[in-house]
């Protein structure tokens, strides 16, 4: 069975670190990202799930391609269902959002916490590692509390 990585937010941290390293490791057969900005979703889909990452080394800037990324907008019902299914299959999940406040933001079934909770309920007890990469020293605890509050 292929390993699945799911990311929330497609900014520099998610795209340049988490998804990039998940792709580069070749440990994951499926890469999924949730993004709410329609123009970013459209751009990634137009590029067929491929984007470039610039990596600075001591002597140069390397351009590295990341490919095969599926993008879902949780504000869209069909995307939301596909995202929850991916979360249920996920081996690793990473949030890289502007703030811990985004865990509970949005319509009740569209918040990051609600989506993760829904996916984990469908995961049949599968072990999933969740990384919280927001700039807050209690991000992991806040994310866990937000997920558990979903019931």
DSSP symbols for 40-61: HHHHHHHTTT-EEEEEE-SS-E
Q: Is the pTM of this model over 0.85?
A: yes
Identify whether the C-beta of residue 18 lies closer than 8 Å to the C-beta of residue 11.
no
Q: What pLDDT does 23 receive?
A: 98
Domain that holds residue 86: 4-148
pLDDT over 80 (residue 1): no
Q: What pLDDT does 109 receive?
A: 84
pLDDT band at 86 (very low <50, low <70, confident <90, very high): very high
The contacts of residue 6 (CB under 8 Å, 6+ apart) are 32, 33, 34, 83, 86, 87, 90, 92, 93, 94, 119
pLDDT digits (tens, 9 = 90+) for 125-147: 889 999 999 999 999 999 999 99
- The domain spanning residue 137 has which CATH number? 3.40.50.720
pLDDT digits (tens, 9 = 90+) for 95-106: 999 999 999 998
Round to whole Å and give the CA distance between 134 and 124. 28
Percent of the chain with pLDDT over 70: 99
pLDDT digits (tens, 9 = 90+) for 21-66: 999 999 999 999 999 999 999 999 999 999 999 999 999 999 999 9
Identify whether the C-beta of residue 9 lies closer than 8 Å to the C-beta of residue 83.
no
Q: What pLDDT does 78 receive?
A: 94
Across the range 70-79, mean pLDDT stands at 97
Total domains in the fold of the chain: 1
Task: Give the H/E segment covering residue 95.
Answer: strand 92-95
pLDDT over 90 (residue 93): yes
């Amino acid at each position: 069975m292929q390993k699945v990585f799911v990311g929330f937010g497609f900014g520099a941290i998610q795209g340049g670190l988490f998804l990039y390293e998940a792709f580069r490791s070749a440990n994951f057969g499926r890469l999924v990202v949730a993004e709410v900005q329609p123009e970013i979703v459209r751009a990634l889909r137009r590029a067929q799930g491929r984007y470039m990452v610039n990596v600075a080394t001591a002597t140069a800037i390397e351009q590295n391609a990341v490919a095969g990324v599926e993008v879902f907008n949780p504000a869209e019902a069909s995307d939301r269902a596909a995202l929850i299914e991916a979360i249920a299959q996920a081996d690793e999940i990473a949030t890289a959002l502007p703030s811990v406040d985004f865990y509970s933001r949005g319509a009740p079934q569209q918040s990051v916490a609600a989506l993760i909770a829904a996916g984990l309920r469908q995961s049949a007890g599968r072990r999933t590692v969740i990384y919280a990469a927001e700039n807050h020293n209690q991000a992991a605890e806040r994310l866990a509390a937000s997920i558990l509050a979903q019931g």
